[in-house]
Amino acid sequence: MANVEEIVKYMKKGGLIILVDDEDRENEGDLVGIGAKMSPENVNFMVTHARGLLCTPVGESITRRLGLTQMVANNTESNGTRFTFSVDAETVHGVTTGVSAFDRSATIRVLADPSSTEKDFVHPGHTFPLKALDGGVAVRNGHTEAAVDLAKLANEEPVGAICEILNEDGTMARLPQLITMSKKFNLPLLSIKELTNYMEKI
């Protein structure tokens, strides 16, 4: 059983974890960090070693405040992942093309800044916000809601960063490969089910 409280403390210090969902859902693992703590080094590690699409789960309150509307009016994605339009932070935040590890980490941190407004962003961009449901993993057991719940547990703004983990050959990493990666890079491994069980008790 993972120690959720210790994992949250680790993430609050800027650490990344491997978050696994259920076999009967996506059966995938993501590298996950807290949005406010995302560094260029974290972004570079995620895109290098996870290899999937780096996305930024955000709470519903943030989508409303920043005017982040849905990418499509009719969402037909199999798990109902709520992509908003993509963004980059404005150049005043040091962002240039938006795609470098520095630029993407800056954009994620601006998304997690409670003082940010719509004017702090341009779109389309290279960072992909995902709208998390307010009820968190209690209402949807996805990586999006789990990342936001972990940020909230750390007393940070409800913003995370997630990236699907692929094997070197481009196939999706499953639990045996995720355990190997966890040991190789000394990354905590947490399942969404473990997080859900913890959230039900607090």
* Fold category of 4-201 in CATH: DHBP synthase (3.90.870)
Q: Which residues fall within 8 angstroms of residue 20, CB to CB, at 6 or more apart?
A: 28, 29, 175, 178, 189, 190, 191, 192
**Residue 86 in contact with residue 131, Cβ under 8 Å?**
no
The predicted pLDDT at position 26 comes to: 61
From residue 124, alpha-carbon distances to 35, 71, 87, 202 in Å are: 20, 10, 5, 39
The predicted pLDDT at position 27 comes to: 75
Helix (H) / strand (E) containing 31: strand 29-34
Residue boundaries of the structural domains of the chain: 4-201
Query: Rounded to whole angstroms, how far apart are CA atoms 135 and 177?
Result: 31
The predicted pLDDT at position 130 comes to: 98
| Predicted TM-score (pTM) of this structure | 0.95
Query: Rounded to whole angstroms, how far apart are CA atoms 132 and 47?
Result: 22
User: Tens-digit pLDDT profile for the chain (202 aa)?
Assistant: 579 999 999 999 999 999 999 766 567 999 999 999 999 999 999 999 999 999 999 999 999 999 999 998 888 887 878 999 999 999 999 999 999 999 999 999 999 999 999 999 999 999 999 999 999 999 999 999 999 999 999 999 999 999 999 999 999 999 999 999 999 999 999 999 999 999 999 8
